[in-house]
Structure 1
Amino acid sequence: MLKPSDNWKWYFDNEVSALVLGLDEDMAFKVEIPQKFLVDCAFKDSEFSVDDASVFQQFKESVSTLPLSEPRQAQLILNCVATNRFHKPVQPKSWFFNHQGGGHAPSQGELVYLKNELNSGLFMVVEVCDNASVCASVELDGFQLTSSKSLSFCQSVKVMHDRIARAEVFDNYAPIALVG
């Protein structure tokens, strides 16, 4: 698994029109946030900060329980760190999701469930606000919002807390070994 380094650098790559995290001289990670959702500072070179490293570690601990390969875990973690630091503030899009009770107030890095009439899925809380949180999809196959619109793996959405349910049971994700 990747470990944050003092050598990591954020920069905007005009050739691919994307925010990139330079991991070393030969390796870079392209962030999956559309350019129109990036804050102004994302277009200037910057260091991978101590705050970035702290958030990275918090997200890493959360995804360690998921049945994702190491490359997929790294993809999710790095996209969530980038979203936390460089995504423009957005309004909640709660109408895509069903009401789930009293409004669970999640914490950053927590795994939560969101559902609608089409499906339910696991998300990671990237940023917590007063009444809503930015959540990133953990579903490899995506999450259907409507019959024609979906969130892909790592894509984020802001949702009111009354749409969020605590993800307490991970039995579906536990590795199983059959012995005989």
Structure 2
Amino acid sequence: MLTPSESWQWNYCPKRDRLLLDLNDELQFCSPFSAAQLMAKPMQQALSINEAEVFWAIDNSLQALALPEAVRLELCLTGLSCAYLPLLAHKSWYFQQANNHSIELHSVVVVRGMNTQHALVISTDQESSTCLFLDSITTLAGKVLPRLHVVRLLNNRMSPLSKKNSLRYIA
């Protein structure tokens, strides 16, 4: 898997209308986020040490899901690009209430609508967290939110990933 580097550069591409991360001269990550979703459009902004630490924290959490390396890398980079999104209003009423748990930053959680899905916690505070869905989920209202959709939820709408249910530990 690629390793974060100070040579990685954040950019906004008006032609593609996407936030990009230049990884080297031949490789570029295109985020799913357009200008309308961004609070800032970076130009030649180098990856910071803090962002590299976040990359490794996300990768460490995703290890529990036994995902292919390419998918894990995509999720790590998409998680990093979420830092350019503004704070969202919460959409908790679309999801089932869970037991009130302490939610950890950069952890994988379980969210239940009409189906159950994993999400990555991008930011958190005492009451709510911003999450990146790892696959599509159908809300209680029947709306399908696509893979890599970012939503803010009250912490009582998600459960930590149970170690005994972790796909990495089954088999």
Whether TM-score is above 0.5 comes out as: yes
Q: CA RMSD in A?
A: 1.7
SS of residue matched to 2:148? coil
Counterpart secondary structure, 1:100:
coil
Counterpart for residue 75 of structure 1: 74
19-28 or 125-134, which moves further after superposition?
A: 125-134
> Percent identity of the aligned residues?
22
- Cα distance change on mapping 1:176 and 1:121 into 2, 3 Å: closer
Q: In structure 2, do the counterparts of structure 1 residues 21 and 90 end up closer, same or farther at CA, with 3 Å as the change threshold?
A: same
Residue 111 of structure 2, aligned match among 108, 114, 119: 114
> Which amino acid in the other structure matches residue 135 of structure 1?
C
Classify the secondary structure of the residue corresponding to 1:78: helix
Indicate the residue corresponding to 1:156 in structure 2: 150
Give, in angstroms, the shift of residue 44 of structure 1: 3.1
Instruction: Calculate the TM-score normalised by the size of structure 2.
Output: 0.91
- How many residue pairs were aligned? 170
1:95 Cα offset (Å): 1.1
Deviations 1:104-161 (A, max 9, x none): 2311111111102x1111111111123100011122xx111243x3222222110001
CA 53–95 in structure 1, closer or farther in 2 if over 3 Å, else same? same
- The equivalent residue for 1:60 is 59
Do 2:8 and 2:21's aligned partners in 1 also have CA atoms closer than 8 Å? yes
Alignment map for 1:100-179 (pairs within 5 Å): 100-101=98-99, 103-116=100-113, 118-139=114-135, 142-145=136-139, 146-147=141-142, 149-171=143-165, 173-174=167-168
Cα displacement (A) at 1:32: 1.0
Q: Assess if the C-alpha contact under 8 Å between 1:33 and 1:155 holds in 2.
A: no
In the TM superposition, residue 170 of structure 1 has moved relative to its aligned partner by 4.9
Structure 1 alignment gaps of length 5 or more = none
Residue aligning to 1:49: 48
Contact (CA 8 Å) 1:92, 1:157: kept in 2 or not?
Answer: yes
What stretches of structure 2 of length at least 5 have no aligned partner? none
Large movers: runs of 4+ above 6 Å: none
The residue type equivalent to 1:133 in the other structure is: S
TM-score by length of 1: 0.87
Partner of residue 93 from structure 1, selected from 70, 81, 91? 91
Change (3 A) 1:9 1:17: same
Deviation sequence 1:1-48 (CA, Å, 0-9, x none): 1100111000001110000000000010001123212112x3433111
